[in-house]
Amino acid sequence: MVVWEFVQLVFTVTMSYSSATQSCSILTFQHHGNLDGQLFNDTFIAERSGSDKVTCFWRCLGDPQCNMVLHNPASQRCRLYYSSAITGGEQEAGWQYYTVACSHFRVLNALSVMTNQTHVDVTCSNGFSYLPTPSGKCFHDNVPLDMGRCMQTLWIDPVRVFRTPLPAPLSSGAEVTLEAAADGVNIRNWVRLPVNDDSTLALLVVVRWDAMDIAFNTRSSGVWSTELSHQGVVYTPNVFSNLSIKITDTEFLISIDGSNVLTGPIRVPVQQADTIEVDFTHINRLQLIYP
């Protein structure tokens, strides 16, 4: 105990607050006093009690995802985050806001991160893509730099009815690709892009085995719009095919195995879609390609 108190005293001295920057081994923490007194919930990892500032920084250092800490010296509480959230805070007195300097910023799911004054180079893990996010910030000379984040955009062998939040909003130039097979027994197989809930769909592409066609439609607040269809089922039962849905400024370009089958108008802003849902008998891979 005596040894630890001595070590803690040494770190307290070497990390004494002399400017807006404090160090903890290889991480440098920058204090942003203009954000003090706020409590953030976005990108939250964990909270620890009984932590002075030095211990709080060390806790962040020990977590490979941590890039930010909130420390409350009055209550000796420490909150760890995996990016530097600067929006959505709630007022709660006593919290002090520290972020890791850009030169040591660690992006969730990244294999490596290299930064300089003008750009960020990030190598993501397999199946993840580097996407800009509103909360993935770090500070360079007290100016927020959007670091983005490695987000999952590829799913291999997911469950039959697969539903997941979109890692980032879709936009013109994005593409959904699906390698899947249908058994022809179930009367419906589909790809959907819900908005908030299932009452609004930015896109529905459905294979209808009973009608022997493939159709496109959208739905707004429970009300269906005008349907477009392509007669003749373009899938062979239990044979894998590649479905592509390319997004332009005004249309969805829908093709199967390289052949265009439908062009559907964008009626609900595609940026509002927050989920993708796929229902096929066998799914080899689902991928989102962002521009």
Distance of CA 231 to the CA centre of its chain: 37
Higher pLDDT, 191 or 185: 191
Q: Which of 13-22, 55-64, 166-175 is the least confident region?
A: 13-22
Task: Calculate the alpha carbon distances from 68 to 59, 96, 197, 221 in Å.
Answer: 11, 11, 32, 39
Distance of CA 150 to the CA centre of its chain: 7
Task: Calculate the alpha carbon distances from 263 to 9, 177, 248 in Å.
Answer: 68, 16, 10
Identify the burial level of 62 via C-beta atoms within 10 angstroms of its C-beta, where 0-12 means exposed, 13-18 middle and 19 or more buried.
exposed
Residue 5: pLDDT band with limits 50, 70, 90: very low
- Whether 195 has a pLDDT exceeding 80, the answer reads yes
Question: What confidence tens digit (pLDDT) does each residue in 81-133 have?
Answer: 987 766 677 899 999 999 888 777 888 888 887 776 667 788 999 999 998 77
Extract the tokens encoding 22.
């404090």
pTM: 0.76
Question: What confidence tens digit (pLDDT) does each residue in 237-272 have?
Answer: 999 999 999 999 999 999 999 999 999 999 999 999
Which helix (H) or strand (E) element contains residue 72? strand 68-72
Provide the β-strand partners of residue 90: 39
For residue 185, the 8-state DSSP code is: -
pLDDT at 135: 62
Average pLDDT over residues 159-171: 94
Task: Calculate the alpha carbon distances from 273 to 198, 232, 261, 268 in Å.
Answer: 10, 29, 23, 9
Task: Calculate the alpha carbon distances from 149 to 108, 136, 161, 189 in Å.
Answer: 6, 6, 27, 32
Most confidently modeled range among 22-31, 41-50, 190-199? 190-199
Residue closest to 127 by CA, chosen among 165, 109, 158, 154 = 154
Q: Do 279 and 263 form a contact (C-beta atoms < 8 A)? A: no
Find the Cα–Cα–Cα–Cα dihedral 242, 247, 248, 252, rounded to 10°.
70
Q: What whole-number distance in Å separates Cα of residue 201 and Cα of residue 15?
A: 53
Extract the tokens encoding 42.
């976005």
- Say which residue the tokens 């719009």 belong to: 225
The fraction of the chain above a pLDDT of 70, given in percent, is 86
Q: Do 230 and 213 form a contact (C-beta atoms < 8 A)? A: yes
- Whether 155 has a pLDDT exceeding 60, the answer reads yes
3-state secondary structure of 13: helix
- Start-to-end CA distance of the chain, whole Å, equals 55
